A and B are shown apart, each in its own frame.
Chain A
């Protein structure tokens, strides 16, 4: 049904190549997340799939049909935008019904589908309100409602949660994941937030400067990042990247160790330093350790709390088996 295959897709704006030729397959029913720093081309890639931008070269197959030259409406996809992009002059009911009206569906069927969608999204009592009278979360639900009524072969999400506050974001994240399980439809989701990517995705596509750095399941990316960029991008707090003599000991240009893979040693650990700022989350504590002679700062994640204060000496011992090694090009050494 909703398989999307990109072959040698390239995009240039004037002479600037934002996406060099790229191949990617998104399987039917998969929840795929494009993640990367801002300006990495993830939104452009999504807009190319949607048809809101034209490809410079290459092909896009949706459901096995060539779609690169089709207008957005003919691709059988629907999209949820960051700004919700609701029609402010229409009621919630009319907003959700709009794609069906455009498809010239008969009004009884439209009514049935709109009410079904509203039911799923808890919008039934808001159907006659205007978008301006709704909260951010409700607006986003209307936008999702508008996209599900058409029963598209795939959903595209362009940073849909960025405008919501943190608590709502977590809630909506769950709702979207739930929706995916229930509808079992392909979803392509763009975000710059790696936590969203890790928690929601079946498959993550990490992009940098229009280039796919790595494609894999969240845990694949976490446990075996293909290069330094992915290593630093996936995981929160970030992986510690260390160069110099310490790296040479491991026959690498750079080594990486995740904050949760460094233990605080009682007596003499392998590394030592001075505690800087610590962040107490209750369940965990992040120590930012300075003066280790390894890097400007080493972040350590400890379960619960350890009685260390700003300026205290700290001894650390990294788990040797969980050290990642990278060569001069930044690629993983296996």
Chain B
């Protein structure tokens, strides 16, 4: 029986949903607002919301001081490269786990996830030394590899879940039709899993874009992405909240825009298989 939703109840639900949404969005909103204030207004007590002198001077100051496009480019390469590489490795892995599971498949999946439970700093030392030895410190290649490895468990897990929704009879039909394993993955499995793969790509791009621990620790000047760009405004010369906010806004803008345009795809992908 469908549950009757009265007008009043609907309004309460709407209000509650908006409140939660605004609560989550508030830090971002505050950052964006602050980026348009002067430094004095940024730390004013009590804080001002909208009634301040809107200014773009923080943005010009940030643009003058650092080369935004270089950081942006590094972010794109690192987030994009690690995501693509990750999916290329994860598709066959998830295929085998979803369609020819062994006795230990569940254990392997859990073990992969368990690597995400380890605090990253626990492996900083060996990875840092490894990077020094391999000459990968402050290189984009190095960052792409690390970021890919960090997100790989999530990519495999997500793809595994999507692949499990695909009836194995269809893959068997492809096999009967003469498809090799490669054909099967390229012509049948991948196109059918496109919504899932797209949301995996998107989510991992966002995760890699926002990742700060490894990018800050393994880069200096050459390969530094936008996270390092923000960090460079945080302390040495004291706190410049307005400029820091301007830098943050510039760093999150691309991903915010990407997320906005792909929200439909993202929601569809994340709820894929939830309802049969």
Q: Which residues of A contact B (CB under 8 A)?
A: 50-52, 71-73, 77-79, 81-83, 85-89, 98-99, 102-103, 143, 146, 150
> Interface residue count for B (Cβ, 8 Å)?
18
Stretch from B62-70, B75-83, B171-179, B238-246 that touches the partner: B171-179
* Distance of A233 Cα from B183 Cα, bound (Å): 43
Name the interface residues of B163-187: CB closer than 8 Å to any CB of A: 167, 169-170, 172-180, 183, 187
B192/A73 in contact, CB under 8 A: no
* Chain B contact surface mostly: helix
Indicate which residue in A81, A103, A150 contacts B173 across the interface (CB closer than 8 Å). A81
Q: Which residues of B contact A (CB under 8 A)?
A: 167, 169-170, 172-180, 183, 187-188, 191-192, 194
A77/B176 in contact, CB under 8 A: yes
Indicate which residue in A51, A52, A88, A98 contacts B177 across the interface (CB closer than 8 Å). A98
Shortest Cβ distance from residue A73 to the other chain B in the assembled complex, whole angstroms: 4
* Distance of A143 Cα from B176 Cα, bound (Å): 12
Chain B residues with CB below 8 A from A51, complex form? 175
Shortest Cβ distance from residue A215 to the other chain B in the assembled complex, whole angstroms: 25
Chain A residues with CB below 8 A from B192, complex form? 87-89
Indicate which residue in A72, A82, A83, A88 contacts B176 across the interface (CB closer than 8 Å). A72
* Chain A contact surface mostly: loop
Indicate which residue in B167, B176, B183 contacts A50 across the interface (CB closer than 8 Å). B176
Shortest Cβ distance from residue B251 to the other chain A in the assembled complex, whole angstroms: 37
* Distance of A305 Cα from B226 Cα, bound (Å): 87
**Contact (A99, B177) CB under 8 Å given A52-B172, A83-B169, A85-B170:** yes
A52/B176 in contact, CB under 8 A: yes
* Distance of A86 Cα from B183 Cα, bound (Å): 16
Chain B residues with CB below 8 A from A83, complex form? 167, 169
A85/B169 in contact, CB under 8 A: yes
Closest A residue to B175 using CB positions: A72
**Contact (A73, B173) CB under 8 Å given A85-B167, A87-B188, A89-B192:** no
Indicate which residue in B177, B179, B183, B188 contacts A146 across the interface (CB closer than 8 Å). B177
B177/A78 in contact, CB under 8 A: yes
* Distance of A302 Cα from B2 Cα, bound (Å): 49
Q: Which 8 A-B pairs have the closest CB atoms?
A: A102-B178, A99-B177, A85-B173, A73-B178, A85-B169, A89-B191, A79-B176, A72-B175
